[in-house]
Chain A
Amino acid sequence: MQAQTRQADRTAAQAAGTMVTRCWSCRGPVAEGAPFCPTCAAVQPPGQADHFARLGLPRGFGVDAADLDRRYFALQRQLHPDRFATRSAHERALSQQQATALNDAYETLKDPLRRADCLLKLSGQDVVAEGCNLVNDPELLMEAMERREALAEAGSTVEVDAITRATRADVAACVGGLAAAFSAGDLAAAGRLTTRLKYLQKLVDETRVRKLQLRG
């Protein structure tokens, strides 16, 4: 019976295109990214699952915030290290790793910019790599430079607020554009919009700094 279940699990996991690993406790098959062994219910190491798989979501830019919250809190309840206080050191360590990986996945998918970055990375289009990745988009750079100059020259908090409002509207439009680009499978456009979003969010952050300077 148990062998049959295992076979069924393995087939289901293979059909879904996921990798199957072995449970460290009972040696049964576990789909990559599954937090618990379906056979013996032991907590598993976080493994290599991507952020979407970890939260049981399909890869895509359209993520419903309420659904994401529900999934996250349900999993976090099961995986919270407090629930493993009386378990073995190994299980405590695994639950800690799982909780950390889950937090990371949640924080990434919740934020449109990080979500877009993550999707591009998963598609092999690493636009915002660490280190010396240069922007090769004169129009975008010109816009960024002009806006930063306008902000530096803003002489009152009222002027800064106007820049903040305009930038937030642009952020919203940019996020809308990203949803359209990803659903059309246009990764080049998604890459450009992700870089633009990065600059726009940086500008929003800087408006806060500028306001503090003007108040001080």
Chain B
Amino acid sequence: MAYSDKVVDHYENPRNVGSLDKDSTNVGTGLVGAPACGDVMKLQILVNEQGIIEDAKFKTFGCGSAIASSSLVTEWVKGKTLEEAVSIKNTEIAQHLALPPVKIHCSVLAEDAIKAAVSDYRKKRVTKAAE
């Protein structure tokens, strides 16, 4: 199976690899995994007071498609609102990267990672407001 050019590009030049401070109240962290392949994916967002995602970082240990999916998502979510970020569908990721059917679950993982990051951020804000 050959990877598409876009997957290879993200795999060889991954965007936004790294970590943000997971203890900061402006940062949401999503940690997800796929047991079938033993992949693990971390996606973090930095959200400003207007509720806009200013920065995003990821760290993925997995196959090329998983790395490309998370790399692409960090690019897409920057400048988006939280609502826009959670509306990203795995099918858009898979279509953009031309993932073959056996790699669709990698795009599902990326969609779940951004959802998990947003929900982590929202949980933190609720806790902060309650204090």
Contacts and interface: CB of A to CB of B under 8 A. Distances in A.
Interface of A: 127-135, 138, 140-142, 144-145, 148-149, 152, 195, 198-199, 201-203, 206
B35 A195 contact: yes
Interface residues of B, number: 17
B112 A198 contact: no
Interface string B93-130: 00000000000110011001000000000000000000
B78 to A, nearest CB: 22
Given A145-B40, A145-B42, A145-B61, A132 B108 contact: yes
A132 B59 contact: no
Interface of B: 31-38, 40, 42, 59, 61, 104-105, 108-109, 112
A175 to B, nearest CB: 16
Given A149-B59, A199-B40, A201-B38, A135 B33 contact: yes
Contact of A127 (B31, B35, B109): B35
B95 to A, nearest CB: 16
Contacts of B36: 128-131, 133
A135 B61 contact: no
Contacts of B108: 132, 134
Nearest to A201: B38
A140 B32 CA distance: 10
Contacts of A145: 31, 40, 42, 59, 61
B111 to A, nearest CB: 10
A134 B38 contact: no
B100 to A, nearest CB: 13
Given A145-B59, A145-B61, A149-B59, A133 B34 contact: yes
A132 B105 contact: yes
Given A129-B36, A131-B105, A201-B38, A148 B61 contact: yes
18 contacts: A128-B35, A129-B36, A131-B36, A131-B104, A131-B105, A132-B109, A134-B32, A135-B34, A138-B31, A141-B33, A144-B38, A198-B35, A198-B38, A199-B35, A199-B38, A199-B40, A201-B38, A202-B38
Given A134-B109, A145-B40, A195-B35, 4 more contacts: A144-B40, A145-B31, A199-B35, A199-B40
